[in-house]
Amino acid sequence: MPHERDETMAKARTFTATKKSGEVVTVTTKLSDSEAIEILGGIAQTTETFDSKCAFEIHKLRHGFRCNEKMVAWGFISAERKSNPVTREGVALSPIILSMVRERKPLRIPVGAGVVKVSKAGPGSKHAGSYILNNDEPFGSPRAVFYGFATPEGVFTPARGATPEVVEAVTKTS
């Protein structure tokens, strides 16, 4: 019969996951299973998000049930990033852009021959509650380019599609 793991002596654990691009992401954390679940928003959320799915897999691990090890790894990676925002790679969004997105004004920033669209991520998104920066093409379109995402606090994390021009346009202070 499955049993709950003793978390009173949380040791550092290392989790490794591979992005679709093939990049390997590794995190060493001292977060307990319970702490990671709480940081991810718990398992009793009304909308299913990537974080809630990861939290549920960690919950299954905690209670000794079979779980998806990749989702557990991504859950701890996400929880560690959220619990230690200073360790996140990223730069601050421009104050002008940040104030516009907080006021929920539609935002399209001209960059070179294209445009950067800033919109709030939906509840089913991997970055739910954050701001998505893309090239205004529909999700799934072969012409769609994902430039990155920004937390509600304004920390912009560039993605592979972010060119230096895009990063400069969304982070300049004047």
Range of the domain at 19: 13-87
Clarify whether residues 77 and 130 are in a common domain. Answer: no
Clarify whether residues 83 and 121 are in a common domain. Answer: no
Q: How confident is the prediction along the chain (174 residues), in pLDDT tens digits per residue?
A: 454 554 544 578 899 888 888 888 888 888 889 998 888 888 776 778 888 899 999 999 989 999 999 999 998 988 887 776 444 455 666 676 766 666 666 688 888 878 888 888 878 888 887 888 899 888 788 888 988 888 877 788 888 888 888 888 887 755
φ/ψ (deg, to 5) at 66: -65, 140
Clarify whether residues 120 and 133 are in a common domain. Answer: yes
Residue 32 covered by a domain: yes
φ/ψ (deg, to 5) at 34: -60, -45
Residue 107 covered by a domain: yes
How many distinct structural domains can be found in the chain?
Answer: 2
76 in Cβ contact with 32 (< 8 Å): no
pLDDT tens-digit series, residues 133-153? 899 888 788 888 988 888 877
